[in-house]
Chain A
Amino acid sequence: MSRSVRYTLFFVGGGLVAVLFVWGVVGMPSFGSNFHPYRDLAIGATIAHGTANAISSVNFDQRAIDTLGEETIFFASVLGAAELLRPSKEERERRGDHTGVRHVMASTRFAGYVLLPVTLLVGLDVVAHGHITPGGGFQGGVVLATAVHLLYVAGSYDALERVRPVHLYEYGEVAGALAFVGLGFAGIAIAGSYLSNIIPYKGFGHLISAGNVEVLNFAVGIEVASGVIVMLSHFLTQAIALHGGPHE
C-alpha cells in the first residue's frame, strides 16, 4: 500500500473515530462529578472487608479471577518472548568475557551500588504492604526486577549473570503462578467457590489484615519479578551475548 493511500485511509477512519468519540464523550457525566455508582459498590465492599487499599481490594479480592487472567497474560507473554528470542541455529552464545567493550563512569557505578539495596528494599515494601498502602504485587515485582538489573547498569553483564541464575527465576515464575491458582482451589475446598477468601479479615489498623489479598500480592510479586528478569535476560542475551547470526 502506498503512503498516500495509507494516509487517506487513516484520515477517513481516524475522522470517523473522532466524531464517534466526541459524540460518546458529551453523553458522559461531567469530569470530576460525584456520580460514581461502581465506586459506591466497590468502596462498600472494601470497607466491609476492612482493606485499607481499595485498589488492591478490587484487584485481589472483588475481581481476583480477572487478575488471574491478567497474570496469565503476563505469563504467556514471557513464554512468547522467550520463544521468539531463542538463538537460531547459526548463533552461539558467547560465554565468559563481555566486559571489554563497556566503560562505566565511576559516578554511575557508585549510584548503582548505592541504589541496588535501596531499590530491593523498596520493592519488598511495595509488595509486602500492597494491601494497606499504595502498591501491590505487579508494581513491587517490577521494582524488584529493576533492582537486579542495576547490577548491569552499574557493573557488568558478567556480574549480572553471576547473581541471576535464569533457570531459578523460571521456577520462581511458575511457583508464583501456581500459588495464585492453588489458593483459588483452596477457596473451593474451604469456602465453596474459586478464589473466595479463606484467610480471616482483621479489619482496619492491623498490619496483616486483608485476608487473601496479601498472599496473592506475594504470589504475583514473585511471578512478576521472576518473569521480568527472565524476559530481560532473553533480550540481553540477544543484544550482548550472541554472535554468528545471518546479518553480522
Chain B
Amino acid sequence: MSYYPYFVAGWLLLIGAFGIVRSRNLVHAVVSLSVAQSGTYVLLLSAGYQRHAPAPVFGSTTKPNLQVVDPVVQALTLTDIVVSATVTALLLALAMQIAKRHGTVDPDQLSALEG
C-alpha cells in the first residue's frame, strides 16, 4: 500500500494556503494560491495512475487496450489548469488596480474599504 503522492498533494494545498495567510504582497498571495491549486493536479493525476501502464494515447507503440492510465482525471486536470490560469489572470489584474489606487500591495495596509 502506498499513499505518498496523495500526501504530497495535501502538503501542497496546506503550504499554499499558509503562504496566503502569511503574505505581505498580493502578487505573493496569488502565486501561493497557484501552489495550493497545484495540489489538486497532483491529487487528480495520482488517483488515475497505474503502475507500468502507458499514457492513454493509442498508436503504434500502445495498441488500444484497457491497461492504460486513467484519461478521465487527466482531462479534469486540464480543466483545472485552465481555471487556475484564468483565476490567476483575474487576481493579478485586481492586484494591479489596487496598486494603482492605493499605492501599496500589502494586504495588511488595505484595511479601509472604498466605494
Tell me the A residues contacting B by CB distance below 8 Å. 3, 6-7, 10, 14, 17-18, 21-22, 25-26, 28, 30-34, 36, 38-40, 42-44, 46-47, 52-55, 57-59, 63, 66-67, 70, 73-74, 77-78, 80-81, 84-85, 88, 132-134, 136, 138-139, 204, 231, 234-235, 238, 245-247
Contacts and interface: CB of A to CB of B under 8 A. Distances in A.
A246 B3 contact: no
A21 B42 CA distance: 14
Nearest to A7: B21
B57 A31 contact: no
Given A55-B57, A238-B96, A28 B2 contact: no
B2 A42 contact: no
Interface in B74-95: 74-75, 78-79, 82-83, 86-87, 89-90, 92-94
Contact of A10 (B5, B21, B69): B21
A18 B9 CA distance: 11
A3 to B, nearest CB: 8
Contact of A39 (B21, B66, B87, B90): B66
A55 B78 contact: yes
Interface residues of B, number: 56
Contact of A138 (B70, B82, B96): B82
Contacts of A7: 21-22
A192 B15 CA distance: 48
B3 A28 contact: yes
A78 B71 CA distance: 28
Contacts of A85: 93, 96-97
Given A6-B21, A77-B89, A246-B101, A25 B70 contact: no
Given A31-B3, A36-B70, A39-B48, A247 B55 contact: no
Contact of A38 (B22, B72, B92, B103): B72
Contact of B49 (A32, A67, A81): A32
B6 A28 contact: yes
Nearest to B94: A84
Contact of B79 (A14, A33, A66, A204): A66
Contacts of A40: 66
A84 to B, nearest CB: 4
A229 B35 CA distance: 25
Given A25-B7, A31-B4, A52-B57, A58 B17 contact: no
A67 B46 CA distance: 22
Contacts of A73: 82-83, 86
B3 A55 contact: no
